[in-house]
Amino acid sequence: MPNAPTFDPDGDPVQDLLNLLDLERIEVNLFRGVSPDDGMKRVFGGQVIAQALVAAYRTVEGRLCHSLHAYFIRPGDPSVPILYEVDRSRDGKSFATRRVVAIQHGEQIFNCSASFQIPETGFTHQSTMPEVKSPDDLLSEDELRAMAKDKVPKELAKQFTRPRPIELKPVDPRAMVSPKPSAPIKHLWMRARGRVGDDQTLHQCLLAYASDMGILDTATKPHGVNWFTGGVQMASLDHAMWFHEPVNMEEWLLYSMDSPSASGARGFNRGEVYTRDGRLIASVAQEGLIRPREPKPSA
């Protein structure tokens, strides 16, 4: 069994993530992935999305992903490998479709469908990028976490301060502990912490990984809770992405998110990803569980 990679504080976190996405092929349409040894109790949803997209790409030639639609079925166990089984649903002249099922302990934990297209030209239009502060004028999430680390429970300290392969700069950061209610809108700059290379498929997979960062939290903002407060149970339920333009994760990208609805213990969230010069390169939609629960008493 492959050893689980560790995100080394003194190493290259981007290379660690790229190694994580380099799945082992164990049959023609069957791949194996592992999770990092980073103290997490369950597998990060963005990791499963990205690894599933890698598995699908290993069965596709000459096409780029333009959309994927996924469901999270069970929590992933980071202590054991994940098997990714790819069904080659269709190979057409312009489009190819793949279905990927992720399996642990003999059960599905995740499945997704992805569509791939030969590059074409056609009509173009897009929405306008929001006017927000430049990433050059903002504190990084690492700096914000360092300022808040003494308020975090000791059992979460390692997870809270561990190095991450994606650098984040929130435009309007809210308190990480005991946040106040605010509008369900969020803007977040993000980029890879190092060199990714020229392979567009890897840039898409890294964006898929990053697209699960913070989007569900948007639906909790009006209610003054987050996963640190203990007043809410949170889990991603489904996730969809559309890739509109080429992705460069080495450059700053603006992730603009909103949550138009919360009901039935679920929060619905939307996201748009822009380059610094205003090109809309991807769109995201996600629904997640945001079930109210009694906060844990303070120690």
Active site residues: 212, 236, 286
Q: Is the dihedral of CA 266, 40, 165, 163 positive or negative?
A: positive
Please give the Cα distance from 228 to 213 (Å, whole number). Answer: 15
SS3 for 257?
strand
**Phi and psi (nearest 5°) for 153?**
-55, 145
- For residues 118 and 96, give the distance between their C-alpha atoms in angstroms, rounded to a whole number: 9
Nearest to 289 by CA among 222, 223, 221, 238: 238
Among 37, 38, 73, 95, which residue's Cα sits nearest to residue 52?
Answer: 73
Residue 48: φ, ψ to 5°: -65, -40
Helix (H, G, I), strand (E, B) or coil at 237: strand
> Which class for 36: exposed (0-12), middle (13-18), buried (19 or more C-beta within 10 A)?
buried
CA of 56: how far to CAs of 65, 76, 94, 101, 143, in Å?
9, 19, 16, 10, 36
| Tokens 């392979």, residue located | 199
Q: How far apart (Å, rounded) are the C-alpha atoms in residues 144 and 174? A: 10
First and final CA of the chain: distance in angstroms? 40
Question: Which residues pair with residue 181 across a beta bridge?
Answer: none
The structure tokens listed for 276 are 């610094």
